[in-house]
Amino acid sequence: MVSGELIGMVAVIMGCLMLLIPIAGLTARFALKPIVEAVVRLRQTQGAAEHLALIEQRMALMEQQQANTESDVGRLLEVQEFQEKLLTNQEEGS
């Protein structure tokens, strides 16, 4: 009789698990989906922030290079004007 009761209990438990396992899976899917989406959005935001910081760094470097180029051009113009003055003074002196 004990084995008959055991078989009955196992059958009832297995029958309940056949229904509860899919229900638990669906519940977990719907409960975890917003959490997973939030984590994905957070990682995308962090990636975008890192990308933005890299772009800002590159822009600062380009601005510095532009300032250096403008400074070099200004000095070249001064040298050219000085050389033209020297040439005109030599021609007048001859």
Measured CA to CA, the distance from residue 22 to residue 38 in angstroms comes to 25
pLDDT of residue 77: 95
pLDDT computed for residue 2 by the predictor: 66
**Tokens 């922030």 correspond to what residue?**
49
CA distance 44 to 41: 5
In the block, tokens 């051009």 appear at: 73
To the nearest 10°, report the CA torsion of 21, 24, 29, 35: -140
pLDDT at 5: 85
- In this prediction the pTM is 0.49
